Amino acid sequence: MLFLLSLTGSLVGAWLWFSLRRSHAGTHTRRAAGLAALAFLVLAALQTFTIVPAGAVGILDVFGNVSLLTLKSGPQLVNPMGRVVKMSIQTQELPVVMEVPSKEGLTLKLEASVQFHLDIDRAYEIYKTVGDDYVAVLVDQQFRSVTSSTTPAYDATALYTSQRAQVAKVITDRLRGILTPRGIIVEDDGVRFHKLTLPQRLAAAIEERLGAELDSQRALEKAREEAERRRIEAQGTADSQRIVAQGLTPELLKLKGIEATLKLAESANAKVIVVGSGKDGLPLILGNQ
């Protein structure tokens, strides 16, 4: 449309310039008409060029006829009678807040998001069948539908605890199966749960149960550590006794017996020593106390 208006303005300006020249009108009026014609001509010429920004593709729409040729990023020569629709092929994130049902029939408030990007080779098809507002028309609606149909298979506890990642992956796979044939690629682990709001009483009960499980795990871990400490201590004692037993030879025992006999014989207490009457030839010491 702008091309036609510019071209018309250029033709009108040129006609005025020639008409004023024949009628010998003022120089300033003729110059103004000529400059206007030139400006409109330049503006019309500019409509044959467009610049597609990085991370985007251009779709040429000429009076409802969508070109199969996708314009890449950079300056492009286009049909001035058409309209270039620029569509992003970068990764986009769509945040949503929705109410979803659980297996128990509860209604939960879920804050989630999905990451996706446009298939560059299917951009013209998306524009032709859905339009440039495909995020709201297709991605948003399908994301909400798939999520609402998936969560009823899980109880609220699963959605609230660590199993939420498993639920998110199931939704990602189902959503990918729907959007990929349409030309929209869902990223790996594209669906993410950010916040899940449970009914207040249920949330308190779950938190209490999780706290009890945590306390039980801590007690069990402490008992395991104590058992391991005792096992190591017992093993050390056994190893020490084995080493001592290996070092107690009969000769060492006899030597220790003689040393003990000498010490007793040197003491001031009265005793009777019978030489050679003890086991292994050691003396017997008989005291009167």
Residue spans of the domains in the chain: they are: 1-47, 92-198, 207-247, 254-287
The pLDDT value recorded for residue 219 is 72
Distance of alpha carbon 141 from alpha carbon 152, whole angstroms:
18
The mean predicted confidence, pLDDT, of the chain is 76
* pLDDT beyond 90 at 18: no
Q: How confident is the model at residue 103 (pLDDT cuts 50, 70, 90)?
A: confident
The pLDDT value recorded for residue 241 is 66
* pLDDT beyond 80 at 76: no
The pLDDT value recorded for residue 51 is 78
Higher pLDDT, residue 129 or 67: 129
The pLDDT value recorded for residue 116 is 95
The pLDDT value recorded for residue 163 is 81
| CATH annotation of 92-198 | 3.30.479.30
Q: What is the 3-state secondary structure (H, E, C) of the chain?
A: CHHHHHHHHHHHHHHHHHHHHHCCCCHHHHHHHHHHHHHHHHHHHHCCEEEECCCEEEEEEECCEECCCCECCEEEECCCCCEEEEEECCCEEEEEEEEEECCCCCEEEEEEEEEEEECHHHHHHHHHHCCCCHHHHHHHHHHHHHHHHHHHHCCHHHHHCCCHHHHHHHHHHHHHHHHHHHCEEEEEEEEEEEEEECCHHHHHHHHHHHHHHHHHHHHHHHHHHHHHHHHHHHHHHHHHHHHHHHHCCHHHHHHHHHHHHHHHHCCCCCEEEECCCCHHHCCEEEECC
Q: How confident is the model at residue 227 (pLDDT cuts 50, 70, 90)?
A: confident
- 152-164 CB burial, b ≥16 within 10 A, e <16: eebebbbbbeeeb
The pLDDT value recorded for residue 16 is 65
The pLDDT value recorded for residue 86 is 87
* pLDDT beyond 80 at 92: yes
Instruction: List 115's β-bridge partners, or say none.
Output: 93
Pairing of strands 83-88, 184-197: unpaired
Q: How confident is the model at residue 189 (pLDDT cuts 50, 70, 90)?
A: confident
The pLDDT value recorded for residue 60 is 82
Sheet holding 107-118, edge to edge: 92-101, 107-118, 184-197
